[in-house]
Amino acid sequence: MSSTSVLQNESRMLQVSNFCPRFLILPSEMVLPKSLLHYFPAPAERLGAASIYRSKESFDRENEQIESDLHGQEYVRIFENFWLPSRTSDDTRKMLVRSLFSAISSNYDSIVTPEHNFHCYEHLYALAKELLHRTPDRVLDFGCGTGLITQTKIGSQVSVLKGFDFCPKMAALARGKGLDVIEGSIQAIEKEAYDLVLASYVFHYGLTHDDWTMLLSCVTAHGAVLGNFHKGIGLEYAIATLACLKEHCTYQVTESDFGPVLVAFVAPQGH
């Protein structure tokens, strides 16, 4: 069975009440720690420059130990039951995330709970209106995935709604839902073109200093970049990054049912 078909079967696995497989996504040259071979004995499958390990069948009692051992080996959960090594370079982490989402793109909507994503989008947009004291009219969905934002009410409240995604397969699925999508590099996003950049369940995958700089440049003065951090993952690093970009923005953090929400308010040029 190919790695893609293994991942495409993930939604069916998640529906089995007493079986919860874990998946490790590693750079192909990285060796799995011996302490984890008990849980992940199968040879790795290839996802381009990445490799995937699928755990053996395990039950509820053992699942807690698996997660404890993964944390002990400095692996982090990034999506559902998918884990990455935390000690990798920014470029390697991006490669792993893109490889994962390329592989699961066709099955993504059945793996996640769409209604939860809808509520997150609605919350983020309502919060943006409250904090900006106006209704943002030109909105970019950063990390749009398969285009779930098109199934919210946001599109009816704005004159421009576009998406951006690193993954071409995700972008193609979003276009199929009617979303105008920019794909590939953040550099492809128009400068000072949006009042608001929304990011729903995206920021915990991690943005570099350069990524934040480019993303802020896409927003008009007095606009904002706003997104949640799932379980707070990556928030501390993002705050430290924005603190170094104080000439470009101010920021604040609010709590929500979807994890902490970071809001970066874009300052006028020359501020």
Q: pLDDT tens string for the chain (271 positions)?
A: 444 445 545 444 443 334 467 888 899 888 888 888 888 877 777 877 888 888 876 555 556 788 888 888 988 888 777 888 888 888 888 888 888 888 778 777 777 777 889 999 999 999 999 999 999 999 999 999 999 999 999 999 999 999 999 999 999 999 999 999 999 899 999 999 999 999 999 998 889 999 999 999 999 999 999 999 998 988 999 999 999 999 999 999 999 999 999 999 998 865 5
pTM (two decimals): 0.82
114-266 to CATH, choices 3.40.50.150, 3.40.50.720, 3.10.20.30, 3.40.50.1820:
3.40.50.150
Helix (H) or strand (E) holding 140: strand 138-142
For residues 147-161, one letter each, b for 16 or more C-beta atoms within 10 angstroms of the residue's C-beta and e for the rest, the string is bbbbebebeeebeeb
Which sequence spans correspond to the domains of the chain? 3-111, 114-266
Cα–Cα dist 265/271, whole Å = 12
Do the Cβ atoms of 204 and 78 come closer than 8 Å? yes
For residues 98-119, one letter each, b for 16 or more C-beta atoms within 10 angstroms of the residue's C-beta and e for the rest, the string is bbbbbbbbbbbbebbeeeebbe
- Residue found under tokens 């934002």: 149
